[in-house]
Structure 1
Amino acid sequence: MLEVLHIIKTQLLTVKQTRGMQEMEIDKKGSNSDEISTCSQEDNENVIRTGTTWTSVAHIITAVIGAGVLSLAWSIAQLGWIAGPAMMILFAIVTCISSFMLSDCYRSPDPVTGRRNHTYMSAVRINLGKKQVWICGLIQYATLYGMGIAYTVTTSTSMRAIQRSNCFHREGHQAACTYGDSLYMLAFGLIQIICSQIPDFHNMSWLSTVAAIMSFCYSTIGFGLGVAKVIENGKAYGTIEGVPSSQKVWKVSQALGDIAFAYPYSMILLEVEDTIRSPPPENRTMKKASAAAIAITTFFYLCCGCFGYAAFGNATPGNLLTGFGFYEPYWLIDFANACIVVHLIGGYQVYSQPVFAFIEKCLSSKYPNQGFIHKFYTIKIPCLPPYRTNLFRICFRTAYVASSTGIAMLFPYFNEVLGVLGALNFWPLTIYFPVQMYFVQKKVRRWSQNWILLQSFSLVCLFISLFSLVGSIEGLISEKLS
């Protein structure tokens, strides 16, 4: 009986191969009895891929340039004129090396002819095994949850900045114009509770498009205001050693965390590569796209960061558009902050929808007979198509947004929150897993020259991540206690 079942199983797998459908994935030990996790999405080999080098560049730049750009002037101010730009270039080089290694993991076991890995976790599962997948997944989804907290903090700061900007315009730059954060965070949380009921990514392309346009608007405005301020001053401020401080070490570590937050895009790299047509091989196209995107992003970051520091010197605010180094034209400040709000409303969903899909798919598979999870209701909304939902989706997504809003209200500190997230994400997802998968893909022997070189590279990046993490956590605690 077992032999008959084995033959049937083999034949079914052969049929799936001929039709180009998803197969059972095999872990690195070669066992053919392990199945893909029920929580992962099915692969569709019939998708028509039309992506090119330049569409990939556009995807990467859209994903990378975001709220992190607003903290770069402050980061350069903590590091100084030499170390600041140097560290940004160093992070760009590290990100480029990592992206090259990760690009080769799109197909396994051969980077050109192997089976496609449509997501980051799929690549980890195939190359490193199931235990590493759980670690990777925990870090990845914790980072996605943290992004929601960071976006809540950033949005409330921008909403408050609009009110303060109008106040300064009416009453003068010396007016108090102080407002709290909590009300704005609650308003943002309410908006996200509504937006979170969007079923999935396929129903929110319009929101992502608007968010991308907004990110370019406020980043360009910040850059332009910095240039205008330098011209107005008639000179560039700043020093080689950066801002003098009794907490210099902690500030430097937070600055490194903020730069780390602004750069890596490892979580979406394989998803972008999955859109690329072939021939030529996808990894070759992706490497070109990564190099071009990182070069463009670095140039943009250096312009924003350096001109921001040159405009304000040691008085550079933590957030270039909300720290009120700029007061006029007030309407442009208001517009830039409004762009931030609109961008982060969409950005919150971009980072939250994968968590929603993962949890709901897991619980749906684990409890197939639970009406609370599987019973759908149709709601008719005037002027809109009928909306289908269930009680679990409403309750879970509402609780998710409420928890991230609550944590943001406890720690409403822009630079420190970005530093913590940058440090947590940088080493494991950008360095460790790509290096380990590269060893498996290229069959790198232990203690060979390449193995020693890449392990040393990984250890140095680990030290930088830990240094940034400790400093950013210290900053969070200090701000909370003060």
Structure 2
Amino acid sequence: MVGAGVLSLPFAMSRMGWGPGVIVLVLSWTITLFTLWQMVEMHEMVPGKRFDRYHELGQHAFGEKLGLYIVVPQQLVVQVGTCIAYTVTGGHSLKKAHDSICSDCSTFKSSWWIVIFASINFVLCHFPNFNSMSAVSFAAAVMSLTYSIIAWTASLARGVQPDISYAMKARSTADATFNFFTSLGDVAFAYAGHSVALEIQATIPSTPEKPSKGPMWRGVIWAYVGVAFCYFPVAIVGYYVFGNSVADNVLVGLEHPRWLIAAANIFVVIHVIGGYQVYAMSVFDMLETYLVVKLKFPPSILLRFITRTIYVVLTMIIAIAIPFFSSLLGFLGGFAFAPTSYFLPCIIWLKIYKPKRFSLSWIVNWTCIILGILLMTLSPIGALRNIILSAKDYKFFS
């Protein structure tokens, strides 16, 4: 659950300010925990049947075809977008680790570091399924906790500088408004686990006496305790120490002690390698199922090798072309993550369970839907504007 989006939270705070920033962080944590609980509950709502894929749940709610058209495009954008963002993050963190270890050495361009990161995923993407990569996933979880702790403790050790400012850093009211919209997406990007939650729950054994929702919900609770332990200190301490001059990746803005900053960036790389595999695995499952079932390709190791290699190459090329960390996160957070994490589970819940109008369940779900739609509408507008402004001075594939 802890994503690399945690590194952009201090930057998001700097564009929202103390009050709105803390409110948005707490609201996002609460809403996404609620919607994740709904998904865990709906996994086995029909006796004797398990909805092991997000789109299967959508099909149950909206019908065979409409459910597929509603859920699958959104889920794919989340998963592909996360892989692209993680490729950018991995490349930048590799570069920062190298520069921290050897400040006098000549360095590669950012594009080459992204290629190096992608090369690691070329190898790991050929694991057959979720269970076969449990060690990679465990290492990623440990790394995410570790570098989050390093991010806020190293920031505290650096201390607040005399010239620190918490004023909005914008040239105009329009700048401040669009930056605020982008920051909403940055926060949303940090809550990305919903798109693979049902696939993960599908790996848990289930019987009528001991349904999978018990251990899955315990896992979710522990995950969200970890999320709070990572996200809130990083966001608040990072903004407190750096103010409006904080970098869009808080670890990139830290310089000392060099060995610790290098280690933290290596931990980020290990984490996003594992995260990339988790999100890519669902895409591989969809692609390979489509190729075998619809296009009648014979299932084989060669088919898996070609499909997965092409996918890693495509995400790498897009990451090299658009390496704008914060704006990319803001766009994806609003456009893709808001539906799957913030309000689509609420719509499905209302459709299936039909709570009484103006009951607590009805009010809570509609509140989440309204906030989620606002997020999906406003955040991509701000992020797209920032990407366009950044691209004016950027030489692509440099």
TM-score range, shorter chain: 0.7 to 0.9
For these two proteins, the number of residue pairs brought into alignment is 388
**Is 1:347 equivalent to 2:300 in the alignment?**
no
Superposed, 1:86-165 pairs within 5 Å as 86-109=23-46, 115-130=49-64, 131-165=66-100
Whole-angstrom CA distance in 2 between matches of 1:236 and 1:310:
12
- SS of 2:270 mapped into structure 1: helix
Whole-angstrom CA distance in 1 between matches of 2:48 and 2:293:
29
Stretch moving more, 245-254 or 276-285: 276-285
Q: Kindly indicate whether structure 1 or structure 2 has the higher relative contact order, using CA contacts under 8 Å at least 6 residues apart.
A: 2
Question: CA distance change for structure 1 residues 321 and 478 in 2, over 3 Å: closer, same or farther?
Answer: same
Whole-angstrom CA distance in 2 between matches of 1:363 and 1:455:
38
Whether contact under 8 Å (1:81, 1:242) holds in the other structure is no
Question: CA distance change for structure 1 residues 102 and 236 in 2, over 3 Å: closer, same or farther?
Answer: farther
- SS of 1:104 mapped into structure 2: helix
Whole-angstrom CA distance in 1 between matches of 2:287 and 2:200:
23
Question: CA distance change for structure 1 residues 206 and 460 in 2, over 3 Å: closer, same or farther?
Answer: closer
- SS of 1:197 mapped into structure 2: coil
Whether contact under 8 Å (2:350, 2:365) holds in the other structure is no
- SS of 1:115 mapped into structure 2: coil
Of residues 48, 54, 79 in structure 1, which corresponds to 2:16?
Answer: 79
Percent identity over the alignment? 29
Whole-angstrom CA distance in 2 between matches of 1:476 and 1:425:
17
Stretch moving more, 78-87 or 209-218: 209-218
Of residues 310, 317, 341 in structure 2, which corresponds to 1:399?
Answer: 310
Question: CA distance change for structure 1 residues 161 and 234 in 2, over 3 Å: closer, same or farther?
Answer: closer
Whole-angstrom CA distance in 1 between matches of 2:232 and 2:271:
22
The answer for the alignment partner of 1:365 in structure 2 is 293
Paired AA for residue 79 in structure 2: L
Stretch moving more, 422-431 or 346-355: 422-431
Paired AA for residue 261 in structure 2: I
Whether contact under 8 Å (1:266, 1:429) holds in the other structure is yes
Question: CA distance change for structure 1 residues 334 and 457 in 2, over 3 Å: closer, same or farther?
Answer: closer
Whole-angstrom CA distance in 1 between matches of 2:355 and 2:329:
35
Q: What is the CA distance between 1:454 and its match in structure 2?
A: 3.3
1:168-189: per-residue Cα shift (whole Å, max 9, x none)?
4x59xxxxx8752111122222
Stretch moving more, 215-224 or 151-160: 215-224
TM value normalised by structure 2: 0.87
Whole-angstrom CA distance in 1 between matches of 2:21 and 2:340:
24
Question: CA distance change for structure 1 residues 456 and 344 in 2, over 3 Å: closer, same or farther?
Answer: closer
Whole-angstrom CA distance in 1 between matches of 2:231 and 2:359:
37
Q: What is the CA distance between 1:287 and its match in structure 2?
A: 5.5
1:373-426: per-residue Cα shift (whole Å, max 9, x none)?
44x5xxxxxxxxxxxx21x33322222111111111110111111111211233
Whether contact under 8 Å (1:95, 1:264) holds in the other structure is no
Q: What is the CA distance between 1:451 and its match in structure 2?
A: 4.6
Whether contact under 8 Å (1:215, 1:343) holds in the other structure is yes
Q: What is the CA distance between 1:80 and its match in structure 2?
A: 1.2
Question: CA distance change for structure 1 residues 363 and 85 in 2, over 3 Å: closer, same or farther?
Answer: same
**Is 1:303 equivalent to 2:233 in the alignment?**
yes
Q: What is the CA distance between 1:210 and its match in structure 2?
A: 1.9
Whether contact under 8 Å (1:80, 1:238) holds in the other structure is no
The answer for the alignment partner of 1:338 in structure 2 is 266
Question: CA distance change for structure 1 residues 293 and 183 in 2, over 3 Å: closer, same or farther?
Answer: closer
> Where does the alignment leave 5 or more consecutive residues of structure 1 unmatched?
1-63, 172-176, 377-388
Q: What is the CA distance between 1:290 and its match in structure 2?
A: 4.2
**Is 1:199 equivalent to 2:132 in the alignment?**
no
Paired AA for residue 381 in structure 2: V
Whole-angstrom CA distance in 1 between matches of 2:6 and 2:224:
14
Whole-angstrom CA distance in 1 between matches of 2:83 and 2:102:
29
Whether contact under 8 Å (1:236, 1:311) holds in the other structure is no
Whole-angstrom CA distance in 2 between matches of 1:288 and 1:159:
34
- Structure ID, larger Rg: 1
Whole-angstrom CA distance in 1 between matches of 2:209 and 2:200:
16
The answer for the alignment partner of 1:329 in structure 2 is 257
Of residues 309, 313, 327 in structure 2, which corresponds to 1:416?
Answer: 327
- SS of 2:312 mapped into structure 1: helix
Question: CA distance change for structure 1 residues 449 and 160 in 2, over 3 Å: closer, same or farther?
Answer: closer
The answer for the alignment partner of 1:180 in structure 2 is 109
> Where does the alignment leave 5 or more consecutive residues of structure 2 unmatched?
394-398
Whether contact under 8 Å (2:343, 2:368) holds in the other structure is no
The answer for the alignment partner of 1:434 in structure 2 is 345
Stretch moving more, 298-307 or 242-251: 242-251
1:86-137: per-residue Cα shift (whole Å, max 9, x none)?
110111122133223323312234xxx5633233222222222221223201
Question: CA distance change for structure 1 residues 193 and 291 in 2, over 3 Å: closer, same or farther?
Answer: closer
Q: What is the CA distance between 1:452 and its match in structure 2?
A: 6.4
1:122-157: per-residue Cα shift (whole Å, max 9, x none)?
222222222122320111022111111111111111
Whether contact under 8 Å (1:208, 1:347) holds in the other structure is yes
Whole-angstrom CA distance in 2 between matches of 1:143 and 1:426:
6
Q: What is the CA distance between 1:461 and its match in structure 2?
A: 1.8
The answer for the alignment partner of 2:396 in structure 1 is none
Stretch moving more, 87-96 or 432-441: 432-441
Q: Which has the higher helix share?
A: 2
Q: What is the CA distance between 1:279 and its match in structure 2?
A: 5.2
Q: What is the CA distance between 1:460 and its match in structure 2?
A: 2.8
